[in-house]
């Protein structure tokens, strides 16, 4: 789904830059933010098709932000994918319980990320 819009929520500037570069190169529209407050502010003017959500954020973490977003009717069709260094047993289950539709472990596999994003977008509710 080239041309789809993606919001990357990640407090690490290098991760933001790498993810944005990979997604722009694949034809996506991309916005990046560093925390939950910036994400909430950005969502007032940017309507993403997919959100890549770091779970370890300063202040409100990605679990809490995901739960908050999934309560809003306007966010029901937005795919939220956990993008995290949390790779311990049970972490994917916790992410899904919070409302994440998918889970991608860091460090990113730069070759497979665009394909994974396309798969998540294809599974988006219509």
Which pLDDT score is estimated for 1? Answer: 53
Which pLDDT score is estimated for 86? Answer: 63
d(CA 37, CA 91): 23
Domains in the chain and their CATH numbers?
Answer: 5-122 (3.40.50.2300)
Which pLDDT score is estimated for 84? Answer: 80
d(CA 118, CA 36): 24
d(CA 104, CA 64): 18
- The parts of the chain modelled with pLDDT lower than 70 are 1-2, 86-88, 126
């Amino acid at each position: 789904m080239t041309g789809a819009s993606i919001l990357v929520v990640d407090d690490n500037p290098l991760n933001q830059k790498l993810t944005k570069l990979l997604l722009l190169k694949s034809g996506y529209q991309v916005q990046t933010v560093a925390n939950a407050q910036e994400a909430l502010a950005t969502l007032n003017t940017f309507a993403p098709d997919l959100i890549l959500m770091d779970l370890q954020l300063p202040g409100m973490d990605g679990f809490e932000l995901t739960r908050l977003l999934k309560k809003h009717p306007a966010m029901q069709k937005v795919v939220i994918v956990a993008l995290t260094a949390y790779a311990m047993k049970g972490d994917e289950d916790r992410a899904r319980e919070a409302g994440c539709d998918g889970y991608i472990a860091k460090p990113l596999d730069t070759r497979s990320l665009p394909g994974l994003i396309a798969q998540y977008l294809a599974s988006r509710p219509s």
